[in-house]
Structure 1
Amino acid sequence: MSSIPYLDAATVDRLLPWSALVDALRAAFITPPIAPPRMAIRYGEQGDQHLLVMPAVNPGGLIGVKLVTVHPALAARPGGAVRALYVALDAATGEPRALIDGPALTERRTAAASVLAAQTLARPGASVLLVAGTGQVAHALCRCYAEVVRPRRIMVWGRRREAADAMAARLAAEGIPAEPVRDLGEAVRAADIVSVATLSTAPLIYGADVRPGTHIDLVGGFTPSMREADDALAARAVIVADGPGALETAGDLTQPIAAGLVDRAKVKLFDDILAGRTEGRRNDDEITLFKSVGLALEDLAAAELLLARWQAP
């Protein structure tokens, strides 16, 4: 077997333009590949370490499997808490096509999915963005929103003041004007779109702070014990999940459902909205809440776009 090419983070960043990736994800949600539920294995003394296995198959294109590890205790290390590798195979022959830097692929497709949701669910004219979190995904969210949505104001918040300052400075160096904010509640009250990318186990966004018409994007919580928003917000919002798995695994949904504050049957699925099978936002006063846990179809769509551009003459 010949050596398998490895597409590193710089290649992923260079060959996956935001707008094209958003369009690829839209198509993948409307016409999805074969993608069984994500396998999640918890381990470690505290049970807070995770191995995630995310396969997907496009019979006319690629087979892809993403292997992800999450170590919350190591969130401060370079690159953050998450490590990942994506394996791409030719669906017709089974031959390996490429190994892809997993964190870079994940960051870009996660940000693109959030921006696609905002395009679909945020009220027209939404122009003030708040990003809560200072990790790599939060940085990618700012970059994708800046290019595709073009908000007139971008605020960034972090638990550590110096981290928010550093991210705002890094974005400014890339030509993206962003301002660090200290008071999260005050920033939420000023925002049209709130995007949260953390590993929090306690709510950060409170319903009492959210104005009518706001779009909330919850990216980080992917286990039943993780929360980024409180029950009051869940009870007020029109909730849209990226897939049915979020109803089983995401604490921002499982906990208010268990408490009887959210009717599981009324949670909408993103693919149904994109395909026109159900409506999303109905008026400018509704609060919309998009809960993503990440789907294998997103990784596969990103990998197929990446390889097509990498192999283009």
Structure 2
Amino acid sequence: MIHLDAQQVQSALNFPALIKALKDAFCSDITTPMRHHHDMANPNASRETTLLLMPAWQAGEKAGVKMVTVAPDNAQVNLPAIQGIYLLMDLHTGTPEFMMDAPTLTSNRTAAASALAASFLAREDASRLFMVGTGALSSKLIRAHHAVRPITHVTVWGRSKAKAQAVIDQVQDLNLTFEIIDSIEQGVKNADIISVATLSQTPLIKGEWLTEGQHVDLVGSYRPDMREADDDVVKRCEIFVDHRPGATKETGDIKEPLDNGIISIDDLKADLFELSNGTHSGRDNDQQITLFKSVGHALEDLAAAMLVAQYYKK
């Protein structure tokens, strides 16, 4: 079995190839049982540590399982919030072939899923990206959106300006115009694409700030008690998700408005399966405000892991 660290996984992935691999996977026959989601009591922290187990397999090809923990307080001890491994196996024999760094795989496939959604939902001329959050995902989301839309200007908001600058430093090679701002409202009002990747439990984006033609990309809320956007956002937007069962159960940005009658299940226009296979075309016009909510899907992990494996089997 081959062990791949974070740098080796990163070296095997680029966003144009990964976005295509995800689109192909959403049109394929990959089997993905509902992921196991366990909140583990953590008396020494402000919140529970979450354990996620995410299996997927493609008949006659590969099987994989991701095992990760999410510990929201890890920033206080200079550790990433998400840690874990991905195991890729030959399905025919059951032989483990690769064990790879799961956080790197996760951050890349998550950003690629957002970009895949944006390729259907963001205006074709979208050039101004507002990045809310400064975690490990932020630089990946900037690169991924840049791969599908003509981004020229990126604004970054974070609770720490030093961390915001660190995000910018990681993507300086893109030769874009960068700006750090103090006001989320200002950033929203001046953006074509608003990408939000935080661990916030209270809404950061308000619907009253949105204007025609924008695309909202919500990435961070992975639990029912987490929100990145308020009720006015979901009421004003055409809503799309990566996976309907996960989005309606696991994220507060969708589950809470559904439970409170703010939106109905019919307001979820399509998921990435339907967008990728052409069942739904995505954005209809330049005036719509679209929203994509990502919760993560084991299919994405398997597609990314198989791409990494192909790179190292050349």
TM-score bin, normalised by smaller chain: over 0.9
What is the CA distance between 1:190 and its match in structure 2?
0.4
Q: Deviations over 1:117-149 (max 9, x none)?
A: 111111121111011110111121112223443
Query: In structure 2, what is the equivalent of residue 98 of structure 1?
Result: 98
Give 5+ residue unaligned stretches, structure 1: none
Q: Distance in 1 between matches of 2:300 and 2:275?
A: 16
Shift of the 78–150 alpha-carbon distance from structure 1 to 2, 3 Å rule, reads farther
| One-letter identity of the residue aligned with 2:39 | R
Query: In structure 1, what is the equivalent of residue 284 of structure 2?
Result: 282
SS of 2:53 mapped into structure 1: strand
Q: Deviations over 1:195-239 (max 9, x none)?
A: 111111000111011111110010000110000000000011111
User: Which has the larger displacement, 256-265 or 292-301?
Assistant: 256-265
How many residues matched? 309
Q: Distance in 2 between matches of 1:9 and 1:83?
A: 11
Q: Distance in 1 between matches of 2:224 and 2:230?
A: 14
Query: In structure 2, what is the equivalent of residue 168 of structure 1?
Result: 168
Q: Is the 8 A contact 2:125 2:149 kept in 1?
A: no
Query: In structure 1, what is the equivalent of residue 132 of structure 2?
Result: 132
- Which of 4, 15, 19 is 2:16 aligned to? 19
Q: Is the 8 A contact 1:131 1:155 kept in 2?
A: yes
Shift of the 170–273 alpha-carbon distance from structure 1 to 2, 3 Å rule, reads closer
Q: Distance in 1 between matches of 2:183 and 2:50?
A: 32
What is the CA distance between 1:281 and its match in structure 2?
1.4
| One-letter identity of the residue aligned with 1:12 | V
Query: In structure 1, what is the equivalent of residue 212 of structure 2?
Result: 212
Q: Distance in 1 between matches of 2:223 and 2:83?
A: 17
| One-letter identity of the residue aligned with 2:299 | L
Q: Deviations over 1:59-81 (max 9, x none)?
A: 23211000010111113444521
User: Which has the larger displacement, 241-250 or 147-156?
Assistant: 147-156
| One-letter identity of the residue aligned with 1:154 | V
Shift of the 173–274 alpha-carbon distance from structure 1 to 2, 3 Å rule, reads closer
What is the CA distance between 1:47 and its match in structure 2?
5.3
Q: Distance in 1 between matches of 2:174 and 2:71?
A: 29
Q: Is the 8 A contact 1:88 1:96 kept in 2?
A: yes
Q: Distance in 1 between matches of 2:21 and 2:79?
A: 26
Query: In structure 2, what is the equivalent of residue 69 of structure 1?
Result: 69
Q: Distance in 2 between matches of 1:15 and 1:175?
A: 23
| One-letter identity of the residue aligned with 2:293 | K
Identity of aligned residues (%): 40
Q: Distance in 1 between matches of 2:284 and 2:275?
A: 12
Shift of the 75–261 alpha-carbon distance from structure 1 to 2, 3 Å rule, reads same
What is the CA distance between 1:13 and its match in structure 2?
1.2
SS of 2:20 mapped into structure 1: helix
- Which of 3, 25, 43 is 1:6 aligned to? 3
Q: Distance in 1 between matches of 2:174 and 2:16?
A: 18
Do structure 1's residue 48 and structure 2's residue 45 form an aligned pair? no
Q: Distance in 2 between matches of 1:154 and 1:47?
A: 32
Query: In structure 2, what is the equivalent of residue 261 of structure 1?
Result: 262
What is the CA distance between 1:251 and its match in structure 2?
0.3
Query: In structure 1, what is the equivalent of residue 309 of structure 2?
Result: 307
SS of 2:171 mapped into structure 1: helix
Q: Is the 8 A contact 2:118 2:148 kept in 1?
A: no
Query: In structure 1, what is the equivalent of residue 250 of structure 2?
Result: 249
TM-score (norm 2): 0.94
Q: Is the 8 A contact 1:240 1:290 kept in 2?
A: yes
| One-letter identity of the residue aligned with 2:2 | P
| One-letter identity of the residue aligned with 1:106 | T
Q: Distance in 2 between matches of 1:292 and 1:36?
A: 17
SS of 1:119 mapped into structure 2: helix
Q: Is the 8 A contact 1:201 1:226 kept in 2?
A: yes
Q: Distance in 1 between matches of 2:262 and 2:303?
A: 35
Give 5+ residue unaligned stretches, structure 2: none
Q: Distance in 2 between matches of 1:145 and 1:266?
A: 25
What is the CA distance between 1:177 and its match in structure 2?
4.3
What is the CA distance between 1:271 and its match in structure 2?
1.0
SS of 1:178 mapped into structure 2: strand
Q: Deviations over 1:45-97 (max 9, x none)?
A: 36521000000011232110000101111134445211021011001110010
User: Which has the larger displacement, 175-184 or 54-63?
Assistant: 175-184
Shift of the 256–166 alpha-carbon distance from structure 1 to 2, 3 Å rule, reads same
What is the CA distance between 1:269 and its match in structure 2?
1.8
Structure 1 runs, 4 residues or longer, greater than 3 Å off: 76-79, 173-177
Q: Distance in 2 between matches of 1:174 and 1:283?
A: 29
Query: In structure 2, what is the equivalent of residue 111 of structure 1?
Result: 111
Query: In structure 2, what is the equivalent of residue 145 of structure 1?
Result: 145
What is the CA distance between 1:169 and its match in structure 2?
3.0
What is the CA distance between 1:154 and its match in structure 2?
1.0
Q: Deviations over 1:244-269 (max 9, x none)?
A: 21111110001111121111122122
Q: Is the 8 A contact 2:221 2:295 kept in 1?
A: yes
